[in-house]
Chain A
């Protein structure tokens, strides 16, 4: 690595230094989003401790290079996009659908263009006249054309881009009318990018639309059992939902719905018939779980399939909701995979132990993957969320150690300074952060897309996770940054 390792600097001091670069108004705002995990106050349980004092889910400061996206990204990109047998229209100008086209690797099976449409970009490609005269007529025609050209599509969602809400279009009226016309589910989603402060409101709006426009659907026939569960909040990135599903099935459960990775409309409609909702990404889908609990009486629980300790703990916790057969099977499954876990740890732990990691991701990962790194003997030096709420930070406390740097809605400037100063052995964040970090000579893995690898969930995924962290950190290229004739004496 090109730069000498600097003397360790106290995180509080580092935050102070970073804030000093801002104009006063911005510094005041940003100060509330940066913090250091504190000791647990006496009498408190860990779960409400450490980092829930960091302010979150408020507007980003203009001009600072926030890493966040928008509500459309949260709805089309995250929640709806993976539903494979529906056509998702990016309603508005061409860009939003273009940049999000095929970028999240929400894996699915099916015949693309015939019964599955995930890696498509459908758009109404708004022109000036649509802004001036409104786009409702165009939307109607668009829906007709979809119905003609894609007869096996089970439904259509309308993902609103910024102009829709500004020009006063009535997409709900269009949806109701066209539903009558073509007899298919049509979901109008008001996820204009200016709504809310990040992707997060898009998740919420998308959840509400599932509640209002999908859950009363007919569903389809399937053989119900007392062991029916849904996977909620797993987008099957690189196949995550599949390497999770295989474990749940092995312990004797039937996954009747997969939300929304590799999902079909029928799976979503059938979900309220299940006995238990298992939620992985709490942030993006807790809303619909709460709804199904209230309206349909389906309980829900969080789980974590990153890394063997949490996988085993989660399998046991899930099994505890069922009878002894399931509990016995869960123990058998944990035992079955233990040799694989031992092999993985024997191979990779010596290569990774003690390495320092900094994370900056979205959803559940800034806390959920921490324990997978723990399993490999790696340490978290800093972590933060793009679009968390207070309840996410509450849930983070138990997973991190005192002194960990916490950054909410971090800016490009802050993250660069934090990385430069702490000089971790690995950074896990997104595509926008990847190349700046690597230029500094620090190994990097994209932790949204698994850097085009995966799955990382489940036991099968843990092997890939360990392999990928090793190949990132222990590649010889990091030692070649300095030209030999330029090396300092």
Chain B
């Protein structure tokens, strides 16, 4: 009997005990009708071949392990960044359970959102009653300052009209007439979570700005975009902008609501962009987007309102941060302070100290379009080669931007850009053209297992490592965090490869 109270074995060890191993082998042999070991080996080898790669890349209908989620997730995330705001997702209720679970698993934090719980009768008659009752219940129970409405694909397919429904709900007294209920249609069958983010921010700003007369100020709006590292990154952004003395408004600040303290009180809402600030943001002279592909439609709205706009690709590393700070300086008229120049020097210093270990390393990078752009750029700054750059939700336009970036450096010469491909494509690509390192999220662990390429988790979602999102990847300080993660992975691999006593340990060096 393997189990004992003294040393309790859970699944990590228990099933490797002989009693269980024998049992599982017998199950497979007797009842599973399983393929034979040689059959399995043959197919396994084939899945790593060029022949398989060609067939795999020729897929037209089937999508396997895509690195993207659907629009409403982005909408719920965006809305969470506004003061006292409850997301109300109109449609089937299971979706909301999924978004909440997904965000909680990543941030290790509460994630609140409600559903209008539409069922078959709503599919036939429309979801107006669900909206009317739902808004009233949400308003009464959770006392939000604002309710941000988005949609699941069910409501989109049957064509529910949010604008009209919300007006009718107000007429029926679900919420006060002047209560803020911005909305966004967020069909899951168009784009991905980054588009949902865009649509919701646009919905909220459109709601607050629609009747405003704009009086331009010196303030700058900054939209962070969908970001698993938002907690660390937004705080780092705030710190840099404060050091510069810039007047600014963050539009959607989730850094507090996804990082509440444990002190005995559950805060359903915390921090976020103040509603009056969101309203006043129309007066800003400019709106900057930290992630172009998260804000295409929103920036159009800002331009229409008369603002200057600029979009970045998730500013990370030396040049990404340089560009961002210079643009902020340019717009605000505030000089970049010596303190930030000093930080820049420290990041460059660290990169110079460690360059020998990163120069020439090859990478596969996947994630959202802006992240992949930034990561590839930073990798090239270290002398690394971003050999495979993949975004399941990357467009042709993104591919062209990537190719331009890669062409700008000799380290991008051998790189390939994979727009619209998924992680099963990436498995074939890496099985045939492997890289030294893989950068992505937790789902990348399957590729790491199958192909032996070390994974560095630097983008959403990260379920199987804790708290990384509390540290920034943006700015020079963030660059340092990213640098250390790359280096630690390289050093750990070196130690593992040289770590067997008496066998491989010739180069098991104390100082590296």
- Chain A residues with CB under 8 Å of chain B are 1-3, 21-23, 25-26, 59-73, 85, 89, 92-96, 98-103, 107, 109-115, 119-128, 130-131, 138-139, 141-142, 145-146, 148-149, 151-152, 154, 161-163, 165-167, 193-197, 199, 220, 222-223, 238-239, 242-243, 245-246, 249, 254-258, 262, 264-267, 270, 336-337, 340, 343-344, 346-348, 411-413, 416, 430-432, 434-441, 453-455, 459-460, 463-464, 466-467, 477, 481-483
Contacts and interface: CB of A to CB of B under 8 A. Distances in A.
Which 6 A-B pairs have CB atoms at the shortest separation, nearest pair first? A2-B264, A70-B94, A95-B70, A63-B134, A62-B134, A266-B33
A194 B154 contact: yes
Interface stretch (B110-118, B201-209, B283-291, B364-372): B110-118
Contacts of B40: 111, 114-115, 152
Given A94-B69, A436-B266, A453-B11, A110 B34 contact: yes
B101 A127 contact: no
B15 A239 contact: yes
24 contacts: A62-B114, A62-B133, A62-B137, A63-B116, A63-B134, A63-B137, A98-B70, A113-B450, A122-B64, A124-B62, A126-B188, A128-B187, A138-B61, A148-B55, A152-B39, A161-B153, A166-B123, A193-B92, A194-B92, A196-B119, A411-B141, A435-B110, A455-B11, A477-B262
Interface stretch (B19-27, B220-228, B324-332): B19-27
Given A64-B141, A96-B98, A440-B266, 17 more contacts: A2-B264, A60-B115, A63-B134, A64-B137, A69-B98, A73-B98, A94-B192, A98-B69, A99-B69, A99-B102, A194-B92, A194-B154, A254-B30, A340-B1, A340-B5, A344-B5, A432-B104
Interface in B106-139: 108-120, 122-123, 130-131, 133-138
Nearest to A2: B264
Contacts of B192: 94
Contacts of B140: 21-23, 26
B266 A416 contact: yes
A413 B11 contact: no
B4 A152 contact: no
A141 B61 CA distance: 6
Contact of B97 (A67, A161, A242): A67
B5 A266 contact: no
A176 B386 CA distance: 46
A344 B173 CA distance: 58
Contacts of A114: 40, 43-44, 47
A412 B114 CA distance: 9
B100 interface: yes
A434 B40 CA distance: 40
Interface in B448-479: 450
Nearest to B2: A460
Nearest to A221: B33
Nearest to B464: A452
Most chain B beta-carbon neighbours within 10 Å: one of A22, A194, A482: A194
Contacts of A65: 112-115, 138, 141-142
B408 to A, nearest CB: 32
Interface of B: 1-6, 8-11, 14-15, 19-20, 23-24, 27-28, 30-35, 39-40, 43-44, 47, 52, 55-56, 59-66, 68-73, 88, 91-95, 97-102, 104-105, 108-120, 122-123, 130-131, 133-138, 140-142, 152-154, 157-158, 187-190, 192, 260-268, 427, 443, 446, 450
Given A2-B265, A267-B32, A343-B6, A68 B188 contact: no
Contacts of B60: 141, 145
A32 B208 CA distance: 40
A331 B122 CA distance: 55
A23 B137 contact: yes
Contact of A101 (B70, B134, B443): B443
Contact of A122 (B63, B94, B109, B111): B63
Contacts of B262: 438-439, 441, 477, 481
Nearest to A196: B119
B93 A68 contact: yes
Given A62-B130, A343-B6, A264 B33 contact: yes
Contact of B122 (A96, A194, A454): A194
Contacts of B138: 63-65
A238 B266 CA distance: 30
A63 B119 contact: no
Contacts of B112: 65, 412
Contacts of A26: 133, 136-137, 140
A439 B95 contact: no
A173 to B, nearest CB: 17
